[in-house]
């Protein structure tokens, strides 16, 4: 057993002893060779499969007839979010976890960042598929995520970190969806609870508010570090270039969407500071971080990614897959084994010049573009795609949708729902969306609705929930 699992059970989601053990493991593995990393993965995979067969009714059935400690990963079936969520109570390994209880907990915004049942960290996600999901992390998996964030996130200002390793001199603003139990919001709230000394310097800023209010709040906070999504960072860069936002952050951290080279240049150029990107998901919070050369390194000692073609067959290194299967080696309470992540991750065979032994990856994940909407031409409001998705999911309860911009002041909202259910869902969504756009300064936008029309994939085969049109 690894030290992270051998540690005494903790009454909360944070155990200093376990965190120290995991940090030591991660520090030692950062520059390990391929054989050492493969041995770590094999051992941790065997532990995961044994735990899944012992505690999960779903995986007990999946692994029937196999020796969990010896079965080949590729011999196991692919897991899909929708199917697993339907069997949630049989999927998890703790019988105290029940989906109805989790949903009630996550329905209360006052409890964001609070441990569930006193020992679990939970968050919700819809992802690019539009299927809502609930994800539970125990103390062991959170220790892994915490250590990966602390030890493998790039150090953009080494001297400052040497003098202030706990960030106590920084003012950090997270710009995102802060009213729900989303992974970033939960993680930020949890950090406040765990570190009271740092808490006064951690600020959550909603990107659902109109841009002038967002700008005014950031202006008042004057953050030295901004953590946000690439599309939100681009919006802030435009406000900075226009002279409306006059802050001078020293670092910008992005994640959750694809950061293109052009986006990085626009953000870094506007603020005159370095930009650090990372790759994570609700299914594994810290999958990859950038090195000093700006390349993403997969944390392959704790997560296995299998790039596959449309038939589920492995693709060679360097080839762009149809999708990627994820196996989370840290989470034994909600096993994620060959889980269809939906992102297209290319794994490269060559070793990076930075010296790390961790694989280099490229990610083609969510890359929705902001919509510029309104009848006033150049004064139209710029609306973030994640904000639109959040409003339609949280306020309208619509998860099966695609929103397409048809013109400067016209959008199409389509859903695969049909009949009375589809009509009611679209009616509610139209009302919520119109009110949100009006608050953003995009009043008078025509919203067409079509039911019984599933989202259409792009040329790459990926479904984009929000589709902008240059206008």
| CATH at residue 428 | 3.30.300
Distance, CA of 134 to CA of 124 (rounded, Å): 5
- Model-wide pTM > 0.85: no
For residues 245 and 349, state if they share a domain: no
Per-residue pLDDT at 386: 79
* 124 within some domain: yes
Considering Cα of 233, then 235, then 240, then 241, what sign does the dihedral take? positive
Mark whether 418 and 453 lie in a shared domain: yes
Report yes or no: 337 and 48 within 8 Å, Cβ to Cβ: yes
| CATH code where residue 230 lies | 3.40.50.980
**Is 163 inside any structural domain?**
no
Specify whether 117 is located in the same domain as 264.
no
> Does residue 153 lie within any of the structural domains?
no
The pLDDT of residue 309 is 92
| Domain span including residue 413 | 371-467
Starting at the earlier edge strand, list the strands of the sheet with 275-281: 202-206, 172-176, 225-228, 251-254, 275-281, 284-290, 296-298, 360-364, 344-348
* pLDDT at 395 (0 to 100): 86
The domain boundary, picked from 227, 244, 273, lies at: 273
Those residues with Cβ within 8 angstroms of residue 371's Cβ, 6 or more apart along the chain or in another chain: 382, 383, 385, 388, 405, 411, 466, 468
Residues 22 and 139 in one domain: yes
Shared domain check, 36 and 63: yes
Residues 342 and 398 reside in one and the same domain:
no
Q: Answer whether residue 251 is part of any domain.
A: yes
> Per the structure, how many domains does the chain have?
3
Structure confidence at residue 367 (pLDDT): 53
What pLDDT is recorded for position 235?
87
Residue 353 included in any domain? yes
**In terms of domains, do 311 and 432 share one?**
no
Q: Do the Cβ atoms of 385 and 465 come closer than 8 Å?
A: yes
Structure confidence at residue 298 (pLDDT): 96
**Rounded distance between C-alpha atoms, residue 434 and residue 220, angstroms:** 29
**Lookup: tokens for 35:** 């054989």
- Res 3: pLDDT: 47
List the one residue out of 147, 152, 149 whose CA is nearest residue 291: 152
Do 246 and 300 belong to one domain? no
Q: What is the DSSP letter of 451?
A: S
What integer pLDDT is reported at residue 128 of this predicted model?
Answer: 52
What residues in the chain have per-residue pLDDT under 70? 1-13, 126-130, 161-165, 365-369, 376-379, 456-463, 470-471
Look up residue 21 and give its two tokens.
């053990």
Residue 106 and residue 215 share a domain: no
Per-residue model confidence (pLDDT) at position 6:
42
The CATH number linked to 339 is 3.40.50.12780
* Shared-domain flag, residues 342 and 462: no
Residue 152 lies in a domain: no
Task: Quote the pLDDT of residue 458.
Answer: 52
Q: Is residue 82 part of a domain?
A: yes
**Domain final residue pick, 241, 273, 305:** 273
75 is a domain residue: yes
Whether residue 263 sits in one domain with residue 209: yes
Q: Please tell me whether residues 215 and 336 are part of one structural domain.
A: no
Name the domain boundary from 310, 343, 361.
Answer: 361
Neighbour-count burial for 345-383, b at 16+ CB within 10 Å, e otherwise: bbbeeeebebebbbbbbbbebbbbbbbbbbeeeeebbbb
pLDDT at 471 (0 to 100): 44
């Amino acid at each position: 057993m690894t030290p992270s699992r051998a540690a005494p059970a903790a009454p909360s989601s944070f155990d200093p002893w376990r965190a120290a053990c995991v940090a030591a493991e991660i520090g030692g593995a950062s520059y390990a060779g391929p054989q050492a990393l493969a041995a770590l993965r094999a051992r941790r995979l065997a532990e995961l499969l044994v735990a899944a067969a012992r505690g999960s009714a779903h995986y007990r059935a999946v692994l029937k007839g196999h020796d969990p400690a010896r079965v080949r990963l590729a011999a196991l079936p692919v897991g899909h979010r929708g199917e697993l969520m339907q069997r949630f109570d049989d999927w998890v390994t703790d019988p105290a976890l029940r989906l109805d209880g989790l949903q009630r907990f996550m329905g209360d915004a006052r409890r964001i960042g609070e441990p569930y049942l006193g020992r679990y960290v939970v968050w919700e996600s819809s992802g690019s598929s539009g299927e809502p999901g609930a994800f539970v992390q125990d103390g062991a998996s959170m220790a892994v995520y915490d250590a990966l964030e602390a030890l493998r996130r790039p150090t953009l200002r080494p001297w400052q970190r040497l003098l202030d390793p706990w960030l106590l001199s920084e003012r950090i603003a997270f710009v995102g969806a802060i009213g729900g139990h989303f992974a970033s919001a939960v993680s930020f709230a949890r950090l406040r609870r765990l570190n009271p000394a740092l808490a006064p310097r951690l600020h959550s800023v909603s990107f659902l508010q109109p841009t002038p209010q967002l700008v005014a709040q950031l202006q008042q906070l004057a953050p030295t570090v901004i953590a946000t999504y690439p599309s939100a960072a681009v919006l802030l860069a435009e406000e900075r270039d226009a002279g409306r936002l006059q802050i001078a952050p020293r670092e910008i951290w992005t994640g959750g969407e694809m950061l293109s080279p052009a986006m990085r240049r626009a953000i870094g150029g506007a603020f005159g500071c370095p930009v650090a990107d990372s790759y994570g998901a609700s299914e594994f919070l810290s999958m990859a971080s950038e090195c000093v050369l700006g390349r993403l390194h997969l944390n392959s000692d704790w997560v296995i990614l299998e790039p596959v073609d449309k038939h589920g067959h492995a693709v060679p290194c360097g080839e762009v897959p149809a999708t990627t299967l994820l196996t989370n080696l840290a989470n034994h309470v909600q096993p994620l084994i060959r889980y269809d992540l939906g992102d297209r991750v290319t794994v490269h065979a060559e070793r990076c010049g930075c010296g790390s032994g961790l694989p280099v990856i490229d990610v083609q994940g969510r890359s929705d573009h902001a919509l510029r909407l309104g009848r006033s031409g150049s004064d139209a409001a710029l609306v973030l795609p994640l904000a639109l998705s959040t409003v339609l999911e949280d306020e309208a309860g619509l998860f099966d949708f695609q929103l397409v911009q048809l013109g400067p002041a016209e959008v199409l909202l389509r859903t695969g729902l049909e009949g009375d259910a589809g009509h009611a869902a679209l009616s509610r969504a139209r009302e919520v969306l119109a009110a949100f756009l009006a608050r953003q300064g995009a009043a008078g936008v025509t919203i067409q609705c079509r039911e019984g029309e599933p989202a259409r994939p792009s040329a790459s085969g990926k479904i984009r929930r929000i589709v902008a049109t240059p206008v």
